Structure 1
């Protein structure tokens, strides 16, 4: 593309698409759970059905939007830090090469609406799209890096995300264990 700023809004649209599909799917699941607990009928006494659906969608959409936006910010920072350490590119040409990769997430966000029936499938699809973006990133910049720099770039990215995911899982496990320990038996 001639204008590099043309794709600047693609990440925002992709985040909106993924958060919308995730929130629709989660809202449907939450409505099923509320019905199975018998709470949904009680809520209908005070709120309309559309109001409950809209409130659930808005709450989950906001939550997913914040999480995906934070992940995007972290991913950009880690990628640029990796390029700082391993690329000999003071003009930032590698970053310009990576701009078109946002179309991968945009297409993935559009296709995520096909998987609305299950949140797990949307999360798996997001992971597949992320892997495709990572392969695209490595493919686009491998010609500008030496072999050792490319290995360093890949290892820094993988090590960071592995540590990040393990850290988040550890926090959730600790939180779960502390809640379970505080319950009276």
Structure 2
């Protein structure tokens, strides 16, 4: 009997010393979801850019400028270079206000609805198009930006009045720029 118990313990010890085997997933997914998402986003961007370019083509009264950041803008009020050449840089504090419309000029947030805001350039949370647009402005200027949805509030919207993938028109007035050196 002792031999049997000893034999069973010896066999159990040998079997339990086996190295663990990798477990494989029950189901495997290809990259098809990502590929579909990329195709969907490219189509959405093409539609939004077509709409913006159509608006620009139909509005010959304004001089629209295409930015390197993927949006368009025009000056409502421009400050001459002889008056000021200063544009905000990383860390500068800007004081501005803005209002938001759809590309069809329907008001989303009207004038005065958004409070005048102070913002440290590239150090605080602000939607990417406005963050990039502020860097193009000088104090005293008013600029209207046309943002495709990916430069505005994107897929999530603002969780209030701006829905999913909505391109917007934003008019911004930059009141002042305090350079980072003058803050310390």
Query: With structure 2 as the length reference, what TM-score do the two structures score?
Result: 0.28
More strand by share: 2
More helix by share: 1
Query: With structure 1 as the length reference, what TM-score do the two structures score?
Result: 0.28
